[in-house]
Copies of this chain bind each other. A is one copy, B any other.
Amino acid sequence: MSDQTKYLLDESRIPKAWYNIQADLPVPAPPVLHPGTMQPVGPQDLAPLFPMTIIAQEVTTEREVEIPKEVRDIYRLWRPAPLYRAHRLEKALGTPAKIFYKYEGVSPAGSHKPNTAVPQAFYNAAEGVKRLTTETGAGQWGTSLSFAGNVFGLEVLVFQVRVSYDQKPYRRAVMETYGARCLPSPSTETEFGRSVLAQRPDHPGSLGIAISEAVELAAQRDDTKYALGSVLNHVLMHQTIIGLESMEQLHMANTEPDVVVGCTGGGSNFAGIAFPFIGQGLRGGKKARIVAVEPAACPSLTRGKYAYDFGDTGHMTPLTKMHTLGSTFTPPGFHAGGLRYHGMAPLVSHLRNLGLIEAVAYTQGECFSAGVLFARAEGIVPAPEANHAVKGAIEEALRCKREGRSETILFNLCGHGHFDMTAYQKYFSGELKDEAYDEKELAMALSGLPSVPAEYA
C-alpha cells in the first residue's frame, strides 16, 4: 500500500457540462432511420417517446452540454466518484504498469446508471411528463430510473424480463422501495406482450421484448414517455461525467492514461469512461488506446455485423447503424445481465468502424476469475459486468509486464457485486458454465437484418 490510493474531488468540481463526442467526430455518425419510411428521423418522429430537450441532445454537435443545477444537486449524493490507484492489484500481478480504476458503485443504485437516469427524469419532469416507462433485465437500470423518477416526482413503470422478475425478486424490491411499479415482461398490459404470450404463455422474456412493451405504452399516452438506459447518444453523453472526473483525478496523480478499458453491453459505461479521452486524442491531445471488453457469449463488437437494425424485438424502434447480432438473437443466460443485448450503441459502433477503438471478448469464467483476484487485492467485489473491464485491465497489465512497460491503465469499475453474489456462489461451486451462443442462431439472426435504401446500406 503506497502513500496514496484514492483520488477525491471536492463537490464543487463536479463537471458543469457533459462532453459530446459528436462535436469531434472526423466523420458524422450515420443517420437514424424511421422504421416505416426508411428515411432519416426528425425530432417530430421521436416526440411521442422523448421530451424535446433529450431529442435535441440526441443530435446536437455542441461540444459541451450544460448539466442543469438540479441534476448536479442530485449527483452530489454520490459524486464526484472516487478514482483509485490499484497498488495492491499491481503488486499481485507483479506488473510495472500503473492501474487506476474509477468506481461507480458508490451511487445509491450501486452502478453508473443513475448518471443518466437523473437527467432523463429531470428533463421529463421539466416538460410536464407524469410517467416514465422503461425495460430492465437484471435490474440495474430499472433500479436507477426508479430512484431518479422518485426524486423528481414521476411515476415509473418498469417492464422486467420475466426470468429476472421471477429469479431475482430482491431486484424488484429495490425498485418498489423507490416507489416504482414493476411488471414481468411479456405482460398482458400491452398489445405486443399479449401477442408474445399468445404464442408462448411461458415465454421467459427478453430485453428486446421488454423494450417493445415500454415503447408501446409510452407512444399511446401524452403524459407518458420512455427512458432508455444505454445505446442512445444522449445516454452515452450523460455518462461522460465518468471520464471527465477521471481526467481531473488522473491529473491530481500526475499521469495520463496510455490505455482506457471499459466493458460493453449497450455501450454506456464504456462511452462514459472512454469518450472524453477519445475526444482529447481527436483534438490533437494525447491519444490513448481504447479497449472495449465484451462477453464471448454476446459479442456484438467482435462477431456482429455493422449494419442497420432495430433496437427491439417488436420492431417498433427506429433503425440505427450498429454492430449487431440481429434483433432476434438470444444470448445464453450468463450472469452479466447488463451485457446481454444484441446491439451496440451507434456511436461506439461508429468509432469502432473508424478504427478508433479496439474490442476483445472474454468468457464469463475468465471474468469471474479476474473479479475474485481483484476483490482479494482491492477489497471491492465487482458486479459481473464490471468483471469484464477488470479482466481487460489485467490483460493489459500483464502485457506491460511481458514488455517491461510502465504504462498507465485506466478502467471503469461500473458497479459493485453485492446484488449478484449468487453468481459468485455458482462460480465457486463450479456450477457456472461458459455457455456459447448458437452459431446457427447467430447466422439466422444476421440473415434477417432489415433492408435499408441503398444510400444508407
Contacts and interface: CB of A to CB of B under 8 A. Distances in A.
Interface of A: 1, 4-6, 8, 10-11, 70, 73-74, 76-77, 84, 106, 108, 110, 147, 150-151, 169-174, 176-179, 372, 375-376, 378-381, 416, 418-419, 421-422, 424-425, 428
User: Across chains A and B, which 9 residue pairs bring their CB atoms closest together, nearest first?
Assistant: A170-B421, A173-B425, A108-B379, A173-B421, A173-B424, A418-B418, A1-B73, A177-B375, A170-B422
Contacts of A5: 73, 76-77
A418 B74 CA distance: 20
Contacts of A150: 376
A139 B176 CA distance: 25
Contacts of A419: 418, 421
Given A5-B76, A10-B8, A76-B6, A173 B379 contact: no
Contact of A425 (B172, B372, B416): B172
A169 B425 contact: yes
A169 B73 CA distance: 38
Nearest to A87: B73
A428 B180 CA distance: 12
Contacts of A381: 108, 174, 177
B428 A176 contact: yes
Nearest to A421: B170
A425 B175 CA distance: 10
A189 to B, nearest CB: 20
A376 to B, nearest CB: 5
B1 A11 contact: no
